Amino acid sequence: MAAPRRGSARLLSLLHPYKLLFAGTIAATVVSSVLDGFTFVLLIPFLRTLFGDSALPSQGGSQVEAVLDKIAGPFLRAGTPEIALRNVVIVLLVALFLKNITQYLSALGQVSIQEGIVRDLRVRLFDHLQRLPLGYFQRTRAGQTIARVISDTDQVKTAVSAALASLLQNVVVIIVYVVILFGLSVKLTMLSLLLAPVLLLIIRPMINRLRRRSRELAAERGEVTSHVGEMIASAKLVRAYVAEAFELDRFRVLAERYLKRVLRAQRYSSLTSPVSEVFGGVMIVLILVVGTRLALGTGATLEPAVLITFLAVSLRLMSPIKSVSNYPTVMASATASAERVFEVLDLPPAEGDRPGETTAEFSDRIEFRGVSFEYEASEPVLRDVDLEVKRGQIVAIVGPSGAGKTTLVDLLPRFYEPTRGAILMDSVPLTNYTRTSVRKLMGIVSQETVLLNDTVLANVAYGLKDVPLEQVRAAARAANADEFIMRLPEGYATVLGERGTRLSGGQRQRIAIARALLRDPPILILDEATSALDTESERLVQEAIERLMAHRTVFVIAHRLATVQHADFIVVLAEGRIVEHGSHTNLLAGDGLYRRLYNLQFRS
């Protein structure tokens, strides 16, 4: 991985794909700023005509006038004052028109770049999230991650757009205007420029504080997002326990804290604007005082028309200068967000194939050899598990809740890697194979069926492309699901999930079974749901499971009596260890945990 670069350098690297567009935008900005300055310079001939002079002096005018003379001299000097004035207006209108076209183009360019950067970042984050270890999602609140993908990327855009708009555009404008000011009066311009560094010294310390506050604020935004998400997910629980008031109080506290954070950050970010404005005001007053002294009296070196233009241009300079002095403020909060985005991007991905990994093949057996596993350091969940399953066998895993059954089967698709020992497929460690190829060999029906916000068809054919409806229906039929699916309002086109039709527990399970059947994997991992089903759906689900298990190598976490009896052998897991091992009859004949569990569950 590349060494972490400084935030701002990294932000600039986001611009890379937009080099050309960026150059075009800058060009448009420069042209529009020059034209903007030009419209102001046209004030001079206008004022001169108004004061009864000729629109342009024949000699001895300011530098700016000399340039203006070169560009539009004959046109502005022509004929009577009325004609000259009319001509000034025409030139003004043309310049104004061109200026706005280029300004429009530059605005469009800026937005395309900004939004392009946001999209790039979001896609990169999404892609990266999909490759992070599963542990990340258990450690991190969902809302924090969502906030990073949605609002923090948006803030990053502000940073880049601030770099684009606020800085580049305004710097160009300022340079153009300062050049014009120099052309009008060197003395007055020097005077104003000498004061500029003072402003910098005043603003600097405020920015450092703001950066820290912004970081806190972004984290708090993630907390608020998390809380809302969790309330939505647990809406039923909240109602069931009449906990609305409790939840509201918790949210109020959070919202209040967010408000405080916003205000604390705002204290600094709102300060730069008035500070720079007061500063600008002082500058204008100074120009007025010194300017009038230069323009009045007998030894006057400045013409009134030039002084007025100088003032107008200086006033026009206020707004870009204000924006530029605001730039560090905007950057402070944006870099805080950018750091949060880059933090996620810098997490080492767990997935992704390592060199030397090959495509998995399965023909003979799967073995666990001395496998231990822990989620947290020194809290073993699996201890020294040895297990051998031959192709075509069904192994049932039973044991008390929390024994590590789900964890054991989660190691097969390489969701996690064993902390010690190895899992071998045909005597080759699973780690020699790519994760994707290992997973393609396995069908997984987990304890909780996850349905996507999509049609039944897409839910059954999840992850597969262009599967014919007939094939999906065949899988659903084998899973005893076709019948109820056909009774849904739009059959296989019915949308399921959050915003669609809700299914019962047994129906969801059968969708999951159809999903696994359609993929037709040689290895099957079945984490039987413990949810009680009525006898009718129990029978339908059981039938579906039996069809699914046929001719496959099956790891089944078994709760159902029927499943246990179908198994070739059973392992009993307790506190992460295999404590018993054997056939149903043998284990029942013994006097171990299996018999106790069996008696508890299936006494009837």
Residues that bind Mg ion (CB under 5 A): 406
Cβ distance 525 to 413 under 8 Å?
A: yes
Site for ligand ATP in 121-180 (CB under 6 A): 138
CB of 397: closest distance to Mg ion in angstroms?
10
Cβ of residue 592: shortest distance to ligand ATP, in angstroms? 17
Nearer to ligand ATP, 154 or 575 (CB): 575
Return the amino acid letter for 129.
L
Position 402 contacts ligand ATP (CB under 6 A): yes
Tell me which of ligand ATP, Mg ion, none is bound by residue 407, counting a contact when its beta carbon lies within the kind-specific cut-off of 5 to 8 angstroms.
ligand ATP
Count of residues in the chain: 604
Binding-site string for ligand ATP from residue 445 to residue 484, where x marks contact by CB under 6 A and - marks none: --x-------------------------------------
Which of 96, 89, 88, 48 has the alpha carbon at shortest distance from 72? 88
Looking at the Cβ atoms of 379 and 591, the one nearer to ligand ATP is 379
Which CB sits closer to Mg ion, 313 or 556? 556
* Element housing 398 (H / E): strand 394-398
As a dihedral over the C-alpha atoms of residue 498, residue 504, residue 509, residue 513, rounded to 10 degrees, the angle is -80
Return the number of the residue (380 or 506) whose C-beta is nearest ligand ATP: 380
Stretch that binds ligand ATP, among 294-302, 352-360, 403-411, 433-441 (CB under 6 A): 403-411
Task: Please pick, from the candidates 211, 261, 340, 405, the single residue that binds ligand ATP as defined by CB under 6 A.
Answer: 405
**Minimum distance of ligand ATP from residue 404's CB (angstroms):** 4
Interaction between residue 8 and ligand ATP (CB under 6 A) = no
Which one of ligand ATP, Mg ion, none interacts with residue 375, CB within 5 to 8 A by kind?
A: ligand ATP
Which of Mg ion, ligand ATP, none does residue 183 bind (CB under 5 to 8 Å by kind)? none
Beta bridge partners of 358: 433
Among 37, 45, 320, 404, binds ligand ATP (CB under 6 A): 404
The token pair at 152 is 């923090």
**Residue number with CB closer to ligand ATP (165 or 541):** 541
Which residue blocks in 234-303 are alpha helix, DSSP H?
Answer: 235-240, 244-269, 272-295
Q: How far is the CB of 422 from ligand ATP (least distance, A)?
A: 19
Q: Which of 63, 140, 372, 406 binds ligand ATP (CB under 6 A)?
A: 406
540 binds, among Mg ion, ligand ATP, none (CB under 5 to 8 A by kind): none
Q: Is 47 helix (H, G, I), strand (E, B) or coil?
A: helix
Nearest to Mg ion of 39, 406 (CB atom): 406
Residue 404 or 443 with smaller CB distance to ligand ATP: 404
SS3 578: strand
465 SS3 class: coil
The helix (H) or strand (E) run that includes residue 205 is helix 186-233
Closest CA to 329 of 222, 199, 204: 204
Min separation Cβ 325 and ligand ATP, Å: 49
Question: Is residue 407 at the binding interface for ligand ATP, with CB under 6 A as the rule?
Answer: yes
Residue bearing tokens 């502000």: 158
User: How many angstroms separate the first and last alpha carbons of the chain?
Assistant: 60
Min dist CB 558 to ligand ATP, Å, is 11
Retrieve residue 187's tokens: 């003395």
The distance of closest approach from Cβ of residue 574 to ligand ATP in the complex, given in angstroms and rounded to an integer, is 9
Within 13 A of 179's CA, how many CA atoms are on the CB side? 11
Q: How far apart are CA 487 and CA 485, in angstroms?
A: 5
Q: Given the complex with ligand ATP, which of 497 and 592 has the nearer CB atom?
A: 592
Residue 402's binding partner out of ligand ATP, Mg ion, none, with CB under 5 to 8 Å set by partner kind: ligand ATP
For residues 349-378, which are near ligand ATP according to CB under 6 A?
Answer: 375-376
When the beta carbons of 126 and 375 are compared against ligand ATP, the nearer one is: 375
Contact residues for 178 (Cβ-Cβ < 8 A; gap 6+):
189, 193, 317
SS (H, E, C) 314-367: HHHHHHHHHHHHHHHHHHHHHHHHHHHHHHHHHCCCCCCCCCCCECCCCCCEEE
Nearer to ligand ATP, 265 or 529 (CB): 529
Give 406 or 565: the residue with its C-beta nearer to Mg ion: 406
User: Minimal CA–CA distance to 530: which of 550, 554, 513, 506?
Assistant: 506
| Other C-beta atoms lying within 10 Å of the C-beta of residue 113 | 22
For ligand ATP, the closer of residues 64 and 442 by Cβ is 442
Q: How far is the CB of 132 from ligand ATP (least distance, A)?
A: 14
Spell out, one character per residue from 15 to 54, where the chain touches ligand ATP: x when CB under 6 A holds, - when not: ----------------------------------------
Question: Which partner in ligand ATP, Mg ion, none is near 423 (CB below 5 to 8 A by kind)?
Answer: none
Cα separation, 482 vs 323, in Å, equals 64
CA–CA separation, 172 vs 33, rounded Å?
7
Piece in contact with ligand ATP (CB under 6 A), picked from 257-265, 399-407, 435-443, 463-471:
399-407
Longest dimension (CA), the chain: 123
Q: Which CA distances in Å does 502 have to 103, 108, 524? A: 52, 45, 27
525 touches ligand ATP (CB under 6 A): no
Write the single-letter amino acid at 342.
Answer: F
Given the complex with ligand ATP, which of 59 and 401 has the nearer CB atom? 401
CB atoms within 10 A of CB 521: 19
Q: Taking the mean position of all CA atoms in its chain, how far away is CA 80? A: 64
Q: How far is the CB of 595 from ligand ATP (least distance, A)?
A: 18
Provide the binding-site residues for ligand ATP, judged by CB under 6 A: 138, 375-376, 381, 399, 401-407, 447
